[in-house]
Amino acid sequence: MGSRSEVTQLIEAMKIEKVVIPTQVSSYFGKNTFSEITMQKMVSQKTFKAFKAWQEDGVIITKDQADEIAHSMKEWAISHGATSYTHWFQPMTGLTAEKHDSFITISNTGSVIEKFSGNKLIQGEPDASSFPSGGIRATFEARGYTAWDPSSPAFITEVDNGKTLCIPTIFISYTGDALDKKLPLLRSESALSKAAVELLKLFEYDTRFVASTSGAEQEYFLIDEAYYRMRPDLLLTGRTLIGASSPKGQQLEDQYFGSIKERVLHYMHDVAVEAYNLGIPLTTKHNEVAPHQYEFAPIFEQSNLAADHNQLLMNIMKTIAHRHGLVCLLHEKPFAGVNGSGKHLNWSICDDKGNNLLNPGETPETNLIFLTVLCSVIYALYNNADLLRASVASAGNEHRLGANEAPPAIISVYLGEQLSKVISMIENGKIVEAKKQDLIDLGVKLLPKFIRDTTDRNRTSPFAFTGQKFEFRALGSAMNISTPIAVLNTIVADAFLIVTERIKEEHKTNSNFNSAVLKALSGVIKESRSVLFEGNNYSDEWVKEAQKRGLPNIASTPDALKAFVSPKAIDLFERHGVLTNVELKARYNIWLELYEKVIDIEARTLKEIVNTQILPAAYEYQSSVASGLDTLIDLSKNGAVKFSADIIEDRKEAFTTISEHIYYVRKNMKELENILNRSESMGLETKTAFFFSDLKPHMEHIRRHVDALENIMPDSIWHLPKYREMLFIS
Ligand code: ADP
Ligand code: MG
């Protein structure tokens, strides 16, 4: 690896390989997945039926049927060149985990044969001890099991050393506790379905189940790998801990440049092909606000699948970037002063035929259902804003929430002008009469107009109704979407139960069902009114207003996470069978620990870079300024050259400036070390709170002075690639 300037030259000379644009996507979409269609062709009709019954109604298949499916899956995988298989799961940290096994077994005659049994398909036993359990698993009982999730199709991935059949699984402890992010999501789907079916029964709306649907818009940055390798902070923490902003930032909104544009397009193209092979329905969006920031958006799917696909997509994005000499940064805030990356979770609910329940209908009946579902979601948000905030709490996302670029840490709901009017009318009892025409007008006249109108979309709201789905915008780019979905599903399930009860209650005294519903909804809206906000969520006025309304505004991750272990939350998750008390506490611990580790690594990385790269260069510059000053003084003393005393004063000022920055860097660094030392004996809760209140501000102080140094020191002795290079060189 050469110096910064050598690397820059190397990058500029880089040649781009031309890629061939492939044929129609439909001709290869899902080619690397063991789809239902493939399975149906390969197993008996009876087995396939049993499989579907398992998927839809939870009736577990027999051992013989499992064997038959496993066999066909193996045959299919081998015919596609796979040599091994893995149970693919989503542990509590990191992206995804795998444990590879080969298909081969030794036969009775001693020869090697490829075999894959139903047992191996359905259950696996990875070495669980290396994954966090938050204390659920005592060390003497490190066993954890993976269990096949039949709702997500198996797929083949290719790495350098061959192809692997990946089987989506859940990860549980010996005692059946959830050790992953997927099981709670699946459980929350059941809870949502159960509650929704009850509610819909009141409307004589027949559906066997409901499911939530999700589409996660994924933001990311791309930078050249050569620069990445020269930045220990990016390598170790995923973000730049120091770095002066570029004179040119995102002001001009013109982040497209010649060759980088082409490289990025090729990259996006390759990601899309790989995603299509795996059955991920991607539509690409090209650029975002910040330089070198982009977005991938999928077509929405049932949440479980959408969550798996988003995890897979993040893996693909990272892997393919390397092939292009790029690095895909998924960190929420890789660069200070430049917009960070989030993930918009588009979420809705559909019935067993795929009808969207958040779509206003054309008849009074369907409109009433739409309004009831809508009001239930509003109520859920009002009642559990703290949980939703907690579901997006992470060290990385902490840089975004409330930082004037992402929705604030205050959870509120945006409905848009028309729908707000409708909601107010219901609230004030103006349409409680519920004449048929009123209800039709609500749907046909008002709402479709709202859907078409995209101009009044409020981009600052953390939770916005956007036509026929809600868009939860507070997720961080690196996050697994399972937890926010599981929380959303659970709180909405709970709201459904409450609204169901209220409608029943109202109907006892009000024989007109429609009026009874509207009356109940009026109460629900009155109660949850404070969570509705149509204005600018980034403004200071909103922060004050929200405080008046009593809405929580929690900036710190450790504080936000506490919501998961409140008695109210434990009761909620237990009642809906989504997470037990033990599982919640375990999760809380794991997330706190994760926060602690991330901040600790960042602080130590900062310390190392500053001590070994920044300060040595700064001393060098400081001496050269000092000796320049000496020379000036000598010259002036011996009278060889005549110049004004101001010139000496000016040089002294330069020396003072650099010396002061060095002094403050060191002063804060000593304090940072002191904080780290003091924190060592602290318990997890105290320590993480201390990190937020003391360690992080000190890191910021250090950064400020280092960045000031970067702006005055010679380019030639500054070793770290600069923002203007990483973000602007084409
Ligand atoms: P926007 O302009 O609000 O970003 P788009 O129409 O581009 O809206 O959709 C954004 C995302 O929302 C896409 O991923 C899309 O698939 C998803 N989406 C649309 N409808 C639904 C739905 N009913 N449930 C979940 N996600 C949805
Ligand atoms: Mg969007």
Which-ligand-closest: CA of 313? Answer: 1
- Report how far residue 302's alpha carbon sits from residue 414's, in angstroms, rounded to the nearest whole number: 24
In what helix (H) or strand (E) does residue 114 lie, and over which residues does it extend?
strand 112-114
Cβ burial 304-333 (10 Å sphere, 16+ → b, else e): bbbbbbbbbbbebbbbbbeebbbbbbbbbb
Instruction: Locate the ligand 1 atom nearest the alpha carbon of residue 347 and give its number.
Output: 25
- Report how far residue 316's alpha carbon sits from residue 631's, in angstroms, rounded to the nearest whole number: 58
Residue 606: its pLDDT value, please?
98
Pocket flag, ligand 1, residue 93 (CB < 6 Å): no
Residue 74: both structure tokens together: 């193996």
Instruction: Locate the ligand 1 atom nearest the alpha carbon of residue 356 and give its number.
Output: 23
Instruction: Locate the ligand 1 atom nearest the alpha carbon of residue 457 and give its number.
Output: 3
DSSP state of 467: S
Asked if 541 contacts 377 with a C-beta cutoff of 8 angstroms, the reply is no
Q: How far is the CA of 464 from the centre of ligand 2 (A)?
A: 10
Which-ligand-closest: CA of 472? Answer: 2
Asked if 296 contacts 282 with a C-beta cutoff of 8 angstroms, the reply is yes
Residue 445: both structure tokens together: 């006249």
pLDDT averaged over 10-residue windows placed end to end, the chain, 730 residues: 74 60 82 93 94 83 89 92 89 76 79 81 73 65 77 87 88 84 94 97 94 96 94 97 82 46 84 94 73 91 96 95 94 93 96 92 78 97 96 95 74 89 87 55 48 58 91 95 98 98 96 92 96 90 92 94 98 97 94 96 98 97 96 88 90 97 98 97 97 97 98 95 83
- Report how far residue 665's alpha carbon sits from residue 705's, in angstroms, rounded to the nearest whole number: 6
Helices 513-528 and 364-390 pack at an angle, to 10 degrees, of 20
Residue 197: its pLDDT value, please?
97
Measured in degrees and rounded to the nearest 5, phi and psi for residue 94 equal 70, -175
Q: What is the 3-state secondary structure (H, E, C) of 650-706?
A: HHHHHHHHHHHHHHHHHHHHHHHHHHHHHHCCCCHHHHHHHHHHHHHHHHHHHHHHH
Could you give the maximum distance between any two Cα atoms of the chain, in Å?
Answer: 107
Task: List the one residue out of 158, 159, 157, 185 whose CA is nearest residue 171.
Answer: 185
DSSP state of 722: P
Cβ burial 597-611 (10 Å sphere, 16+ → b, else e): ebbeebbebbbebbe
Pocket flag, ligand 1, residue 296 (CB < 6 Å): no
Return the CA Rg of the chain: 29
Residue 115: its pLDDT value, please?
80
Asked if 153 contacts 123 with a C-beta cutoff of 8 angstroms, the reply is no
Which-ligand-closest: CA of 298? Answer: 1
- Report how far residue 519's alpha carbon sits from residue 119's, in angstroms, rounded to the nearest whole number: 54
- Report how far residue 549's alpha carbon sits from residue 535's, in angstroms, rounded to the nearest whole number: 14
- Report how far residue 579's alpha carbon sits from residue 565's, in angstroms, rounded to the nearest whole number: 11
Which-ligand-closest: CA of 473? Answer: 2
Task: List the one residue out of 430, 426, 400, 402 whose CA is nearest residue 415.
Answer: 426
- The residue type of 124 is G
Pocket flag, ligand 1, residue 356 (CB < 6 Å): yes
Asked if 216 contacts 392 with a C-beta cutoff of 8 angstroms, the reply is no
DSSP three-state, residue 417: helix
Residue 450: its pLDDT value, please?
46
Pocket flag, ligand 1, residue 346 (CB < 6 Å): yes
Q: Tell me which long-range contacts 544-547 makes (C-beta under 8 A, separation of at least 24).
A: 546/410, 546/412
Residue 148: its pLDDT value, please?
87
The angle at the Cα of 184, spanning 189 to 502, to the nearest 5 degrees, equals: 50
Pocket flag, ligand 1, residue 589 (CB < 6 Å): no
DSSP state of 445: I
Q: Which of 285, 296, 346, 450 to mutate to test the pocket of ligand 1 (most atoms within 8 A of CB)?
A: 346
DSSP three-state, residue 128: helix
Asked if 405 contacts 339 with a C-beta cutoff of 8 angstroms, the reply is yes
- Report how far residue 169's alpha carbon sits from residue 152's, in angstroms, rounded to the nearest whole number: 9
566 Cβ partners below 8 Å, 6+ apart?
386
Instruction: Locate the ligand 1 atom nearest the alpha carbon of residue 299 and give its number.
Output: 16
- Report how far residue 4's alpha carbon sits from residue 7's, in angstroms, rounded to the nearest whole number: 5
Which-ligand-closest: CA of 212? Answer: 1
Q: Where are the beta strands (DSSP E) in 196-321?
A: 210-224, 282-285, 293-298, 301-302
Residue boundaries of the structural domains of the chain: 31-180, 190-240+340-577, 595-726
Residue 207: both structure tokens together: 């559906």
Q: Which of 210, 218, 300 to mutate to test the pocket of ligand 1 (most atoms within 8 A of CB)?
A: 300
Residue 16: its pLDDT value, please?
58
Residue 177: its pLDDT value, please?
86
Residue 688: both structure tokens together: 């993480």
CB-neighbour burial class of residue 478 (10 A; exposed 0-12, middle 13-18, buried 19+): buried
Residue 228: its pLDDT value, please?
96
Pocket flag, ligand 1, residue 466 (CB < 6 Å): yes
Residue 286: its pLDDT value, please?
62
Pocket flag, ligand 1, residue 298 (CB < 6 Å): yes
Pocket flag, ligand 1, residue 468 (CB < 6 Å): yes
Q: How far apart are the first and last CA of the chain?
A: 20
Which-ligand-closest: CA of 416? Answer: 1
Q: How far is the CA of 349 from the centre of ligand 1 (A)?
A: 13
Q: How far is the CA of 394 from the centre of ligand 2 (A)?
A: 21
Q: How far is the CA of 486 from the centre of ligand 2 (A)?
A: 20
Q: Where are the beta strands (DSSP E) in 449-582?
A: 463-465, 470-476
Q: Which CATH class is domain 31-180?
A: alpha beta
Q: How far is the CA of 459 from the centre of ligand 2 (A)?
A: 8
Asked if 77 contacts 121 with a C-beta cutoff of 8 angstroms, the reply is no
- Report how far residue 550's alpha carbon sits from residue 531's, in angstroms, rounded to the nearest whole number: 9
Q: Which of 450, 469, 471, 473 to mutate to test the pocket of ligand 1 (most atoms within 8 A of CB)?
A: 469
Q: How far is the CA of 451 from the centre of ligand 2 (A)?
A: 14
Q: How far is the CA of 308 from the centre of ligand 2 (A)?
A: 20
The angle at the Cα of 335, spanning 330 to 340, to the nearest 5 degrees, equals: 55
Pocket flag, ligand 1, residue 299 (CB < 6 Å): yes
Task: List the one residue out of 376, 364, 373 whose CA is nearest residue 512.
Answer: 364
316 Cβ partners below 8 Å, 6+ apart?
271, 274, 275, 278, 280
Task: List the one residue out of 355, 390, 387 whose CA is nearest residue 373.
Answer: 355
Cβ neighbours, 10 Å, residue 227: 21
- The residue type of 288 is E
| Architecture, CATH, for domain 595-726 | Up-down Bundle (1.20)
- Report how far residue 267's alpha carbon sits from residue 261's, in angstroms, rounded to the nearest whole number: 10
In what helix (H) or strand (E) does residue 268 lie, and over which residues does it extend?
helix 258-277
113, 75, 32, 54 alpha-carbon torsion, rounded to 10°: -120
Pocket flag, ligand 1, residue 289 (CB < 6 Å): no
Pocket flag, ligand 1, residue 458 (CB < 6 Å): no
646 Cβ partners below 8 Å, 6+ apart?
none
Q: How far is the CA of 388 from the centre of ligand 2 (A)?
A: 18
